[in-house]
Amino acid sequence: MPVKATITSKENAAAAASITQKTIENHKTAAMHHESAAKNHHEAAKHLGDGDEYKASASAIKALRDHFNAGEYQREDAKHHAHLSKTI
């Protein structure tokens, strides 16, 4: 007969703390990418105002990259929240 492993409340607390820390890191990293995207959008606008469409395009592409990267961290966080909502 197989032995059933039991998880202690101490192990549950440690796992929850680890998940919470990862969620905090996801929020902070997503925010960092959003801030970088905003900076690149401002730069694109400035370059367009200066008549430099090449630099404006480069800044816009950087902004799109940052939005994509932020979305990756948001999706990870959404998975965590979806999991939590199933356990409530």
The answer to whether position 2 is within a domain reads: no
What pLDDT is recorded for position 82? 80
In a domain? residue 18: no
pLDDT at 69: 97
Residue 20: what pLDDT? 84
Q: Is the pTM of this model over 0.85?
A: no
In a domain, 54, yes or no: yes
CB-count exposure of residue 62 (10 Å: 0-12, 13-18, 19+): middle
What domain count does the chain have?
1
Domain that residue 63 falls in: 34-88
Residue stretches of the chain with pLDDT short of 70: 1-8, 87-88
* 66 occurs within a structural domain: yes
